[in-house]
Amino acid sequence: MLRQFNAFTPFCLLLLITFCQTAFSQTTPAQTTSAQTTPAQTASSHAPKFEIDTQTEHTVKVRVKNRTYVGTPIDWYDGNLDLLRRDGRWSVLPIDSPDQYKVLSPSFSVMSREKMAEKLKKEFGKRYSVSSTASFLVVHPLGGYHKFAKPFEDLNKSFETYFHKRGHHLEKARFPMVAVVLNTRAEYDRMLKAKDSSSEGWVGYYSPRSNRIITYDRTIEESESFFKTSTLIHEATHQTAYNRGIHNRFGGSSSWIVEGVACMFQAEGVYNSGVHKRRKDRINHSRLWGIQVAIKDGSAKHKLRDIVRSDQLFRSDVDLAYAYAWGLTFYLAETQSRTYLNFLAEDAQRPNFSAYGEQVRLERFAEAFGSDFDNLESRMFKFLKQLNVKVDGRVYKP
């Protein structure tokens, strides 16, 4: 089975202050990338000869070195097992012998919320509280439920409201979503260093592997809004989208789809649509400015086919890629809402770990929105050029 995932995150989910985040993207056999690969991506001529059932959900115990993992197998590839654990984490484990692997139950059940909370308390210690909301378990500085935990649940409800108003019903999250708010930047840096990740400039990230969002307390005053940065909303949107059925954590969605949704939710008219109901409130003005500049200077021309068929633009020109992804997503969501939502639903239903090459991406897009890419891009540009970029009440034109 073909694999398309990078080691730390399969998609662009690591956040840079200056332009939201740096893109990590999927690859197909025809593409190359400098990104790290998972063990499961590295071919081996010494792959084990035994088979592991990944088609039916059941509970297994796996021993690797001195650690024991319990979960359900979701993929078995070249001697490496993708295991979905009972708390929602996703591990890739090397298995050389069937003796490492034991079936515990013919069914699979999610760890209870109480047990997950207990494990989080043990993991983070007495300096942190663990608060439970309807959909989240939030690790945060002592006290501060309304400051740290409630905003995550509020965003989840706003996410649900946005799609419900457009006739699209979301899945219930299978696992409690975990958010970790560390006390200080120093603690945050140490955690990223432990994951072999550079932390300069990042204010938070969501990892599909751990299914957690990690950030730190950047507020100064007690009354200050924790979600004051749109970048944190961006990452929280990734987490919600992967857990509510908009994207498939194991399906390898195109970066323009994943990042377009997250950029769209950074606008107050999307993440808080109950209060801000006008179209102009749904505009992400920094991304609108970026795409309008690119339209004017010609750098955005003929990029529709490129961004649909591969994630290369996210590696070669990340600012343009994010602006274009937002522009395309916003245009489709505003002008072809039902078609766009059906497209998202079908994309999320693709089989786990399936190949998603350039031709397949182009065909799926064309089936939904038509095969005349130049005409669609022209109509999108016309729509976006008519919108006003507003910053602090002032209108700007590139």
Cα 30 off chain centre by: 24
Q: Which residue has the higher pLDDT, 224 or 8?
A: 224
Q: Average pLDDT for residues 314-319, to the nearest whole number?
A: 96
The whole-model pTM stands at 0.85
Q: Report the pLDDT value the prediction gives residue 47, as an integer from 0 to 100.
A: 59
pLDDT (0 to 100) of residue 153? 94
Q: Is the model's pLDDT at 37 over the cut of 70?
A: no
Residue 26 pLDDT > 70? no
pLDDT above 50 (res 346): yes
Judge whether 211 and 27 are in contact, CB under 8 Å: no
Mind listing the domains of the chain with CATH numbers? 40-105 (2.30.30.140), 114-396 (1.10.390.10)
pLDDT in tens, 94-151: 999 999 999 999 999 999 999 999 999 999 999 999 999 999 999 999 988 888 999 9
Q: Are strands 101-105 and 136-141 parallel, antiparallel or unpaired?
A: unpaired
- Contact by Cβ (8 Å): 281, 265: no
- Under a CB-based contact definition with an 8 Å cutoff, are residues 13 and 205 in contact? yes
Task: Please compute the mean of the pLDDT values over residues 234-262 and round it to a whole number.
Answer: 94
3-state DSSP assignment of residue 215: strand
Q: Evaluate if residue 200 carries a pLDDT over 70.
A: no
Q: For residue range 164-179, what is the model confidence (pLDDT) as tens digits? A: 999 999 999 999 999 9
Q: What is the pLDDT of residues 352-368, one digit of tens each?
A: 988 889 999 999 999 99
Question: Taking the alpha carbons of 359, 362, 365, 371 in that order, is the dihedral positive or negative?
Answer: negative
Q: Quote the pLDDT of residue 142.
A: 92
- The reported pLDDT for the residue numbered 45 is 47
Query: Is 80's pLDDT higher than 90?
Result: yes
Alpha-helical regions (H) of the chain: 113-124, 150-165, 185-194, 230-243, 255-264, 268-271, 285-297, 304-309, 312-316, 318-335, 337-348, 358-369, 373-385
- Can you list the pairs that 118-123 forms with residues at least 24 positions away whose Cβ atoms lie under 8 Å? 119/87, 120/178
On the question of pLDDT at 87 being above 90, the answer is: yes
Contact residues for 312 (Cβ-Cβ < 8 A; gap 6+): 25, 31, 306
**Cα 59 versus chain centre, distance:** 26
In the predicted structure, residue 81 carries a pLDDT above the cut 90: yes
